[in-house]
Structure 1
């Protein structure tokens, strides 16, 4: 709001008033200059009203960013992600939302957002699941890529492998019998054989150790 224009012949300069403590100075800015201030939602109510009145205000969440990027995918890829979201929500509700530590309204969309990649040309596409693996996640490859030709299944299982990390061993033992036998078996194998939930030392060792094998992400 606080700016002035100085013109001389065919040229002009725009100055914005910048306050630093009690001192206010005029600073030359580009004509396309825009000031964006990011504020945490939890801090919003503590910000003085006069400061807020100087800006247009928008509230953006992880869910908003996910929906924005989803719309930039090809239609078939959008369908895949919507199907994955529906299946993941069904899994969460069946297992019991209360059993997932830290689960909130943004958790699932944060996971889904990680499946959308942007290249140097600002083109959006789904994650190539073969490029997902690290030293920490390579054990899950057989679970995620049970059918490597089925992209939707691979990505859904990738999301499932992230969500299941949020539950305790006691919860898994309690809830596994509520699933079909086939699902119960591969969830049990994923949780107890392909992830580390019991020994912090082993977890840290996996995190910092050098790979014992060469991981070819193209295979």
Structure 2
């Protein structure tokens, strides 16, 4: 996945649509928000999926890499802060075809892979599942041993600076101190690069890798579709 380090750009888009993931049994929209039900996906159109080199699987277009992404999301914030030009039901559609019952997300220089499982339909992973998994995984606190495992002093200082910057974004001193006492979190290992520009698909089968573009090799004991994060 490609990240960018300009969280301020989220406020510069005109008339953004903020996505809110809801568990209610209705779906409606107004001028500013879309409400939708991940457990009640709309009919999937094959035109919503981009073909990957060499054939299937195909990734949903809302996940495609772009310098002008249809999704603006700062991964240090809850997904309710996401702005997007996509209609709400797109987030309840399968992220890949054929349907993937499991996804494994990898971020270079980030030692924790993110497992994504279906949360509502129990049959395939949706974009809702992916963004939820990213957010909650990055909220985990980092242990002292994990901090000691940082390979260099320069990397350590970058993580520390990202931690300080994240805490300062809370504004008032009380909130700043309260957040700082919680310690470094996994999101700080992204070193302040918090936006998304999309990701590239990699098919894994029995430990072998079929590469599409330049992605990082990972191992898998069973067949699954995997997204590799690529830093910008």
Taking structure 1 as the reference length, the TM-score comes to 0.27
Which has the bigger relative contact order, CA under 8 A and spacing at least 6?
A: 2
Give the structure with the larger strand fraction: 2
Q: Give the number of the structure whose alpha-carbon radius of gyration is greater.
A: 1
More helix, by proportion: 1
